[in-house]
Amino acid sequence: MGYANIETGFNDGLGTITLNRPPVNILNMAMMEEINEVLQAWQGKKDLKVVLFNAKGKCFSAGVDVGEHMGDLAPKMIEVFHRMFRLMDKLGVPTVASAYGSCLGGGCELAIFCDLVLASEDAKFGQPEIQVGVFPPIAVQFMPRIIGRKAAMDLILSGRIISAQEARDLGLVNKVVAREELASATGEFLKPYLALSAEVLRKTKKALTAGLMDDLEPSLKVIEDIYLNELMKTTDANEGLKAFLEKRKPEWKNE
């Protein structure tokens, strides 16, 4: 079926979700609900070997729609956003992101939550949420597990933006290629995985996760509780989001 904000495809074991919400693929609730519909439909699909997230337009994704993040909308937004990651986790198959240009905030979380990440040389990664008075719950959950506690503290607490090369050096990205080669390099990168058994890939990914004793659910629940019931009740979180939408500097009250 046709979607307004994404394109999807399934071919020879490869399920593709293409972000297509011009110009910078801002993830709004409607777009995330479309992604969730596809991920839900693919649950239990025996011949699914790999899920690929790629994009059209200027960049992979500049992040989540801040306007849908305010006040009463926050719990619903978090629920829809986090459902993407819960469904990806539940699928149990390897997930791959092919990222270029800005890959920030929720867009960065979507890319680097994937098991494998290819990036073009011009890709920029970062979690600038702290600068608008919030934190990125998904990155908080998994970034320390991928790149270690010190590097994750640096990126999440500073909100700084890093190059594709630095992201690769840290271990957030598997491979960096020239922008014009990204599509063909992604195809080449996927070939070995698509030659394997879907069921064996699932069991192997399950074992890798079990070996780390790293279930998403218990820690994500705690993080969500802190986010919605502590952070979003502070003066500064609401001021930061408001200031962003009003294109001004936030005035922190430290409360």
Neighbours of 170 (CB within 10 A): 19
Nearest to 13 by CA among 96, 89, 90: 96
Lowest mean pLDDT among 60-69, 121-130, 178-187: 60-69
Q: Which CATH architecture has domain 6-194?
A: Alpha-Beta Complex (3.90)
CB 104 within 8 A of CB 124: yes
* Averaged pLDDT for residues 154-167: 98
State the number of CA atoms in the 13 A half-sphere of 7 facing the CB: 9
Separation of alpha carbons 84 and 51, rounded Å: 13
Q: Is the pLDDT of residue 221 over 90?
A: yes
For residue 181, give the DSSP letter.
Answer: G
- pLDDT averaged over every residue in the chain: 96
The H-assigned helical ranges of the chain are 29-41, 73-91, 106-113, 137-147, 149-158, 164-170, 182-194, 198-212, 216-229, 235-245
Q: Is the pLDDT of residue 253 over 90?
A: yes
205-217 burial string, b = 16+ CB within 10 Å, else e?
beeeeeeeeeebe
- pLDDT (tens digit per residue) in 10-67: 999 999 999 999 999 999 999 999 999 999 999 999 999 999 999 999 999 999 999 8
The amino acid occupying position 31 is M
Residue 148: pLDDT band with limits 50, 70, 90: very high
Neighbours of 246 (CB within 10 A): 9
Burial of 12 (0-12, 13-18, 19+ CB in 10 A): exposed
Dump the DSSP string for 205-238.
Answer: HHHHHHHHT--HHHHHHHHHHHHHHTGGGSHHHH
* pTM score of the predicted model: 0.95
pLDDT at residue number 128: 97
Separation of alpha carbons 77 and 68, rounded Å: 7
